[in-house]
Structure 1
Amino acid sequence: MTFLAEPEPTPEVEATYANDRAAYGFVMNLSHLWAHQPEAHTRLFDLLALVGGDLSFRERGILVTAAASTIGDSYCSLAWGWKQSDAGNLDAVAGVLAGTDDGLTPREAALATWARAVAGGAGRTTPEDVEALRDAGWSDDEIFRATVFVALRVAFSTVNGALGARPDAELAERAPAAVTDLVTWGRPVAGR
């Protein structure tokens, strides 16, 4: 599942696994990893909820898939590709994963472009990049929140990737072909 051994069973570890079973019907490979420090996972996702709370589910999906595809994270690309397609956003998520941004509004396309810039080399962003977001209707507060959201998602992906968490076979089975055919980067699906 990951490069680390299974964590010792504790009430916190069992609660992590129970939450996955209730939400997905299986325990995600990344949960076996984060079960080594369940509180770190909880605090990270509390912070993500704080900064991303004003973003729509679709906007969060655009940020995650644009960043994940940029850094070569197959796990989050598949997971959010599935979640977004399940929510009726298949065309948009496929466009983001393909890098074409087909199916996005100009406001959303600016957000995807920004997520790729942050994930792909934050030190190379320019005032013009930020101005493009403003021109698309994003406020400075929204730009800040989206940037922190992407940075935290990149950190989450980095931990998962570095410690060998492979996308779950169940995710690949649930994701439509329009997503799985596009995700050719990163770690292969577990069991394949």
Structure 2
Amino acid sequence: MTGYLTDPTASAESDALFAEDEADLGYVMNTTRLWAHDPAAERGLFALLGQVTAGTSLDFRRRAILVSATASAFGDPYCSLAWGSRLAGVAGDDVAGAVLSGDDSGLPAADQAMARWARRVARAPHATTATDVDELREAGFPDAEIFAMTVFVALRLAFSTVNNALGATPDDRLRADAPPAVRAAIPR
């Protein structure tokens, strides 16, 4: 079983997803097993995520901040662990643990504004205001990047929604490999 679903039917596409995880991580993630039910959907989603951030200032570090802030605000332990660990690799364990806990004080001002925006979108997108968008502009983000980060956050929420709704739980190895500050910020 993968979450609440049975294991996907084997196919060349699902085998390719599994092989990528094995090569990158040494094991197949539970989310990969889940998305192997429709590998084209997984590929399409991640292609769109790449497309929306191409040509922006949303480099790996900033994407890690966005996903960590989004996932933790949304209550997604899987993506919080995975991306909190990635953020720790580029910003330090304590910064990552703090961002997951809602404390952005260790980030530059522009990144703090971006993390606050991600949390607002994750928690109550209907409650955002022009003042919230102005905060991003004042932090130096042009409208095209504000749009890109908002679409990126929304797509990450879609990914998290599927994973959570279908019972994908964090892999034991993912939890074990996460820095202590990241693990401490994630409720079990």
TM-score by length of structure 1 reads 0.93
1:163 aligns with 2:166: yes
Residue 13 of structure 2 aligns with an amino acid whose one-letter code is: E
1:74 aligns with 2:98: no
Contact 2:96 2:181 in 1 (8 A): no
Q: Percent identity?
A: 49
2: distance between equivalents of 1:141 and 1:64? 19
Contact 1:51 1:148 in 2 (8 A): yes
> 1:8-47, aligned counterparts within 5 Å?
8-47=9-48
Contact 1:84 1:93 in 2 (8 A): yes
CA RMSD of aligned residues (A): 1.0
Where does residue 150 of structure 2 map in the other structure? 147
Contact 1:91 1:102 in 2 (8 A): no
1:130 aligns with 2:125: no
2: distance between equivalents of 1:102 and 1:181? 18
Query: Which of 41, 64, 67 is 1:64 aligned to?
Result: 67
Contact 1:2 1:32 in 2 (8 A): no
TM-score by length of structure 2 reads 0.95
Query: Which of 93, 96, 108 is 1:93 aligned to?
Result: 96
Where does residue 7 of structure 1 map in the other structure? 8
Contact 2:97 2:184 in 1 (8 A): no
1:116 aligns with 2:119: yes
What is the Cα deviation at residue 82 of structure 1?
Answer: 1.2
Residue 51 of structure 1 aligns with an amino acid whose one-letter code is: V
In the alignment of these two chains, the number of paired residues is: 185
2: distance between equivalents of 1:139 and 1:91? 29
